[in-house]
Amino acid sequence: MSLVRFTNQLPGFFDHFFDNDLFDWSNRNYSNTNTTLPAVNIKEGKDGFEVEMAAPGLEKKDFKIELNGDMLTISSEKKVEKETKDEERFTKREFSYQSFSRTFTLPNIVDEEKINARYQNGILKVFIPKKEEAKPKPAKKIAIA
């Protein structure tokens, strides 16, 4: 995860926009099975970061979330195989296999012990809280002695 700050300079905005991964359809936007990777939104709030991943059609048991050092990996593998009887013959049978893996580098301001996730309505949400010392503090008045 990285934080990007934009200035009020319009040309700088357009340079960033056209250099963005949106226009990069190299293998980085595809999984090992040559399917597109789930779209991700990352929101930062005062208490932490929220990663939202669009993954409809999956169940929460299909996901694996691992933390290795400062690397958070969200992956899934799902096979759908229909059982056939011995006497059945078919001329066409389509298998269903989906897999992906997305890895994010976490900043050192997160509290790794309190990361939690939930899956609802096709969206996986992973909340990554900030350490108390990294949260913004309200303005403090300092008395003059």
Q: pLDDT at position 94, please?
A: 67
pLDDT digits (tens, 9 = 90+) for 27-46: 455 545 455 788 999 999 99
> Could you tell me the residue ranges of all domains in the chain?
30-133
pLDDT of amino acid 134: 84
What tokens does 119 get? 């899956």
The reported pLDDT for the residue numbered 16 is 45
Report the mean per-residue pLDDT for the chain. 77
| pLDDT, mean of residues 65-72 | 94
The pTM of the full predicted model, rounded to 2 decimals, is 0.65
Q: What angle do CA 126, 57, 93 make, to 5 degrees?
A: 145
pLDDT at 120: 94
Share of residues in the chain with pLDDT > 90 (%): 46
The residues near 23 (Cβ < 8 Å, ≥ 6 apart) are: none
Task: Report which of residues 42 and 135 the model is more confident about.
Answer: 42
What architecture is the 30-133 domain classified under in CATH? Sandwich (2.60)
Per residue in 75-94, is it b (16+ CB within 10 Å) or e — as a string? ebebeeeeeeeeeeeeeeee
Residue 130 and residue 115: Cα distance in Å, rounded?
A: 10
